[in-house]
Structure 1
């Protein structure tokens, strides 16, 4: 698969590169977070949210809404699933990483999605990006053998455990956490997920 850059024109329909933020302290604090052989996601980390950049991300990034700052770290080379939220997600690449992304608008009426429509983009270390609400995404892929580290900023409560019942039909059947709709590939064997990804479980070499 061709790996494009987030600075390329092709990325503009999926998100934008952020300007005007100082992510220095955020990246420094992320050095204390683990990088397992698989993938770990933590929605909210007190040490990250205590940094001065929290206020900028909340006010400039989300118009003053309450937010959470967490991370997704590890080793990964596969698509495995796609998810979307009702809002943009801000990512800060602590290491070089590759995002596999697509359009929510390409999900079929039966909630399946053709993985051949996925595109790959390199996010260089130190880069902050906004990933639009209609952009399908999931765990990044690592570029270096040491794995990847990625800051994840979202409205407070996103990706936390559901505290209300959901229907088993329609779009509701995709909801696996608060503000998280997920479509998995059967090869990934994600427990409780709807296996609606059709085609190859894309792998980045």
Structure 2
């Protein structure tokens, strides 16, 4: 992936730089959920598809074990996210960690919320760090870690599991009102690049600046 994209520095999650963004777990046997995802969830070939809560996925034993350990008795949700992203056009964060299980190799573009708070905008190309995360990885991203959809490594697309506090990324009620302009869904705080006219039309605020990060996948 690095050879395919020589203008970018793509680090491994074993790099010391990753520690401020999250934690890798190696103590979980996720073979059951990998089998479930391989057998039941296909990668959409035209767009990104995200299901915040998949009841069958949430019943898989390893998901119950991990969710209990991460959220300490609080209700949680787990769903699949698949797609074809090759660029990085938005950042988001949540109140509470996000847990991912990677079903394909991916590149994650990460930053810190404090950078966004200090300047009101986030220049991903200058202020983010890129990490290669291989298939089978179980990773927690801390709540102050800016992130977005994975970038695919293989041309066939990406597939991951997303676990969050229950209700996250679900639609807001019709009568919802807040003074926080970054709220776009329940427990989803997001700003976007000016190129995302689709999200801007839906009410998202511009907050990602500069040139887009765009990676060429492996063929």
Does TM-score exceed 0.5, indicating one fold?
yes
Residues in 2 aligned to 1:8 and 1:47: alpha-carbon distance in whole angstroms: 35
Quick check: 2:67–2:163 contact (8 Å CA) kept in 1? no
1:129 counterpart = 2:136: no
Aligned residues: 202
Identify the residue that residue 185 of structure 1 maps to in structure 2: 193
Runs of 4+ off more than 4 Å: none
- What is the aligned counterpart of 1:203 among 211, 214, 219? 214
Identify the residue that residue 32 of structure 2 maps to in structure 1: 25
| Gap runs ≥5 in structure 2 | 1-7
CA drift at 1:110 = 6.4
Quick check: 2:33–2:63 contact (8 Å CA) kept in 1? no
1:111 counterpart = 2:120: yes
Residues in 2 aligned to 1:72 and 1:186: alpha-carbon distance in whole angstroms: 24
Identify the residue that residue 141 of structure 1 maps to in structure 2: 151
Identify the residue that residue 168 of structure 2 maps to in structure 1: 158
1:25 is paired with a residue whose SS is helix
2:17 is paired with a residue whose SS is helix
- What is the aligned counterpart of 2:98 among 89, 92, 116? 89
RMSD across aligned positions (CA): 1.3
Quick check: 1:166–1:175 contact (8 Å CA) kept in 2? no
Residues in 2 aligned to 1:112 and 1:166: alpha-carbon distance in whole angstroms: 23
The CA deviation string for residues 43-77 of structure 1, in whole angstroms up to 9 with x for no partner, is 01112111111321222111111111101101111
**TM-score for both structures, normalised by structure 1:** 0.94
**TM-score for both structures, normalised by structure 2:** 0.88
